[in-house]
């Protein structure tokens, strides 16, 4: 392994299963390169293989300022339908869809299962994709009940960031789905009418609108 500021390589571990392969003492401001080579276990079969070509550069994912502003800051806490609290930092490096919806809205109740199916398909395919729910419900009880049927996280109903996000996104009607790229750029101002598929996700991951 080496960083973009190092001239030489550092041997990290002799096994990819080692604890040393976990992210430790890495700088968020640096890019890193990795290479490997086979290592035969039996001494009599040991062969002096050469190192692989260096990997593409990789860096620690950081929550974009745009997403951070919508959820209440990089240190904010989100909530899921089970009542678990999840750090907003878990959104770093992912395509994030901000879903503005309400339980009393008929079109929302029709769109939510469609979005949930797409969400499940993308997670099964290993795509770095998350949805954050911004409630437009009229009370906490309705918000909690509606969220319990969703597989993603939400900004808490009583968080100031929720109202601020709805205003910032210019939400005038629901359902409303704003898609932000991995670097925080707005890719779709409202993707509700878009055909959501692996192709559209791949476009979003590449930083393009679908």
CB of 186 closer than 8 Å to CB of 169: no
What pLDDT does 59 receive?
Answer: 57
Give 139-150 as a DSSP string: SHHHHHHHHTT-
Please give the mean pLDDT across all residues of the chain. Answer: 87
129 contact partners, CB below 8 Å, separation of at least 6: 94, 95, 96, 97, 119, 122, 123, 201, 204
What pLDDT does 45 receive?
Answer: 60
pTM, 2 dp: 0.74
What pLDDT digit, counting tens, does each position of 154-169 carry?
999 999 999 999 999 9
CA 24 from chain centre, in angstroms, equals: 21
What count of other Cβ atoms lies within 10 Å of the Cβ of residue 114? 12
């Amino acid at each position: 392994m080496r960083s973009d500021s190092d001239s030489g390589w550092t041997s990290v571990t002799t096994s990819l299963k080692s604890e040393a392969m976990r992210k430790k003492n890495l700088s968020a401001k640096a890019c890193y390169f990795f290479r490997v080579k086979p290592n035969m276990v039996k001494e009599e079969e040991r062969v002096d293989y050469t190192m692989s070509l260096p990997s593409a550069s990789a860096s620690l994912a950081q929550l974009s300022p745009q997403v951070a502003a919508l959820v209440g800051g990089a240190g904010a806490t989100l909530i899921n339908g089970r009542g678990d609290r999840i750090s907003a930092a878990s959104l770093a490096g992912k395509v994030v869809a901000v879903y503005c919806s309400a339980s009393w809205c008929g079109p929302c109740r029709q769109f939510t299962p469609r979005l949930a199916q797409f969400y499940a398909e993308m997670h099964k395919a290993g795509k770095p994709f998350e949805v954050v729910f911004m409630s437009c419900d009229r009370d906490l009880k309705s918000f909690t009940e509606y969220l319990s049927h969703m597989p993603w996280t939400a900004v808490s109903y009583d968080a100031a960031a929720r109202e601020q996000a709805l205003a910032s996104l210019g939400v005038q009607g629901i359902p409303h789905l704003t898609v932000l790229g991995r670097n925080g750029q707005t890719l779709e101002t409202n993707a509700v009418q878009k055909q959501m598929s692996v192709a559209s996700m791949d476009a979003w991951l590449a930083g393009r609108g679908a």
